[in-house]
Amino acid sequence: MKILGCCLLFFTAFSLHAAEPFYSAQVGTQVWLGEIRGSGERSDPSNVPSLSFAFEHGFPLLPNLSLRYTNLAERDLAYDALSYTLYYRLIEKPFIGLDTGITLSRFRNGEYLGVDDRTYEFDDNSVSFYTYGEIGLPYLPLMLFGQVNASNYGSRALEYQDLSLGLKWLVPIQAGDLSLHTGYRNSHLELNELSLRETVNDPQTIKISGWFVGVAMTF
């Protein structure tokens, strides 16, 4: 009888664990209507699109992985940024979540028009500390979220910070979970080695700030 009880206990625990997905994936896209400023005046809001992908699993000690691609293409400023984030989920509750990790951002095809009307190219990497948190609103399918990439640890030639704060609406569907999100995003990119003459007074920064809307699918 004791053996039968232990077997039932084991299979019950196994079935409860199996009911939880061992891994999940998320794909998303975002339209960022950001005001952009380099060496000149701040521009009118312009579409800065981004795509994202995340993979989470149940393996102990191994970090989760997320990717985010952002494309900036303006007359005087441009870059392709691909950010790789390795992170751990420190808190995972029904109404609260907290992630932390490290992000490597690779900037390619960078162009910056200086105050001297010369175009400078840049290609470099930045390593930053990553934090993401979310908290649910009582009795509503809504969550407040914030994401921070800050404290540059990579090359001093390029320093990058990216902050987001927003509201997410969760829509359960048959294929998975759909989330619609909106909020405000601010990024600051410092270019410290553009070979400008010392007599040129140039900010050597690319700032983007503005509202965004997006959608993500988790399955």
Look at residue 18 and tell me if it is in a domain: no
In a domain, 189, yes or no: yes
Q: What is the CATH number of the domain that holds 34?
A: 2.40.128
Report how far residue 156's alpha carbon sits from residue 152's, in angstroms, rounded to the nearest whole number. 8
The structure's pTM equals 0.85
What is residue 198's predicted lDDT score, i.e. its pLDDT? 66
Distance CA 165, CA 174 (A): 28
**Confidence (pLDDT) at 43:** 73
Tell me the C-alpha distance between 129 and 78, whole Å. Answer: 24
In a domain, 204, yes or no: yes
Predicted pLDDT of residue 175? 81
Residue 72 has a CB neighbour count (10 Å cut-off) of 24
Domain for residue 147, yes or no? Answer: yes
Q: How far is CA 193 from CA 37, 125, 203, 211, in A?
A: 18, 13, 12, 30
Domain count of the fold of the chain: 1
pLDDT along the chain (219 residues), means of 10: 42 42 93 90 82 95 97 94 97 94 96 91 94 95 96 78 96 89 96 74 90 96
> Tokens 């900036």, residue?
72
7 in any annotated domain: no
Q: Cα(170)–Cα(61) distance, rounded to whole angstroms? A: 29
Is residue 13 in a domain? no
Q: Is residue 123 part of a domain?
A: yes
The residue segments making up the domain with residue 157 are: 28-218
The reply to whether 4 falls in a domain is: no
- How many angstroms separate the CA atoms of 212 and 56, rounded? 25
What pLDDT score was predicted for residue 86?
A: 98
Q: Apex CA 107: angle with CA 105 and CA 110, to 5°?
A: 160
